[in-house]
Structure 1
Amino acid sequence: MLSLSELNAMSQEAFVAALGAIFENTPAIAAKAWHQRPFDSVEALHRAMVAVVQADSDDAQLALLRAHPDLGSRAAMADASVQEQASAGLDRLSPEEYSRFHQLNQAYTERFGFPFIIAVRSHTKASILAAFEERLQNSRESERQTALQEVFKIARFRLDATLSAEV
């Protein structure tokens, strides 16, 4: 685990190497946030990284959303995504559950143009499926904003797992 002191002292290259995967392997976010050092808390770092995403173009935000894997997928994905999905039991789906996740992933991506994103660490298989059903009813813009909020939650979980709160 890194301390904020260590992180604040890093070169941009080292900072990006340490935090480039926080936002689903989109290291440009860490590279831009580096300029706002020093950070006095994990929360301040998180706010800075979120601000980078919010200031990005719609195309860059859409690319970030599209960088996320389908839930319950058997495709290759970032290590953090593998661990997060396993924490909700998505690595142990029955054939029926796998089929349902696949159908919902496909319907969602067709409707919105990016994969369904939810911070799975605070969910179960059942609550994820319920959220899928509910969010499929959203407008495209509303869902894009919801997906970004979930990305921000995921990033915070990842920062908390990477950094100690000690300055």
Structure 2
Amino acid sequence: MSAETNSLTIDKINGMDKEQFVTALGGIFEHSPWVAEGAYQHGPFHSVEELHSVMLETARSAPHSQIEALLRSHPDLATRLQVTPLSAAEQQGAGLDRLTPEEFKLLTELNAAYTEKFSFPFILAVRGKNKDDIIKAIGERVNRPLEEEWEQALHEIGKITGFRLHDLLPETEGTES
């Protein structure tokens, strides 16, 4: 990352034109820069939390088909397919790059069953979790009804994007008056 990226602040985000804003924040929601595009018009933002809230509302208020595309844009956990750098780092942090062959096979089978049932991949904010937590979660969630799992997936996307925004804009609480 460049020094400029590491020193992003909410004030710098607020000073950006739409193209710069989407370039800076377009990757927060997996392969969905349209979320940043839609959020831009609601600035200026007073905090990272407000920015995140607006981005979440932009995603949740999109047409059903666009939300479904957002859900489908997430990679399978522990997949050997190409993932974004943010997803790869998140999965490595949870130990998904160090699965035994048996764990990889189980997770692959659970992912396939989940995707077949729900038509989108299993989505989980993996920060702070280990591979056993993840395998347990998908094993439980694959048995839920679609409506419940749709909401859970959006909730998890909220956690993931919150982590990503706070990593990008690491302002400390109480610095703004």
Q: TM-score range by the shorter chain?
A: over 0.9
Asked if residue 133 in structure 1 is aligned to residue 147 in structure 2, the reply is no
Q: Which residue of 2 aligns with 1:66?
A: 72
- Which letter maps to 1:26? S
Task: State how 1:57-136 maps to structure 2 within 5 Å.
Answer: 57-136=63-142
Q: How many residues align?
A: 167
Q: Kindly indicate whether the alpha-carbon contact (under 8 Å) linking 1:4 and 1:40 is maintained by their aligned counterparts in 2.
A: yes
Runs of 4 or more above 6 Å deviation: none
Instruction: Please give the root-mean-square deviation of Cα atoms over the aligned residues, in Å.
Output: 0.9
Alpha-carbon deviation of 1:116? 0.1
Q: Kindly indicate whether the alpha-carbon contact (under 8 Å) linking 1:69 and 1:115 is maintained by their aligned counterparts in 2.
A: yes
- The equivalent position to 1:14 in structure 2, one of 8, 14, 20, is 20
SS of the counterpart of 2:98?
A: coil
Alpha-carbon deviation of 1:55? 0.7
Q: Which residue of 2 aligns with 1:143?
A: 149
Q: So what's the TM-score if we normalise by structure 1?
A: 0.97
Alpha-carbon deviation of 1:40? 0.7
Alpha-carbon deviation of 1:46? 0.4
Q: So what's the TM-score if we normalise by structure 2?
A: 0.92
Alpha-carbon deviation of 1:64? 0.2
Higher relative contact order (Cα pairs below 8 Å, separated by 6+ residues): 1
Alpha-carbon deviation of 1:123? 1.2
Asked if residue 54 in structure 1 is aligned to residue 60 in structure 2, the reply is yes
Q: Percent identity?
A: 44
Structure 1: 5+ residue stretches without partners = none
Deviations 1:12-49 (A, max 9, x none): 00000000000002000001101111111100000000
Distance of 1:151 and 1:103 partners within structure 2? 22
Structure 2: 5+ residue stretches without partners = 1-5
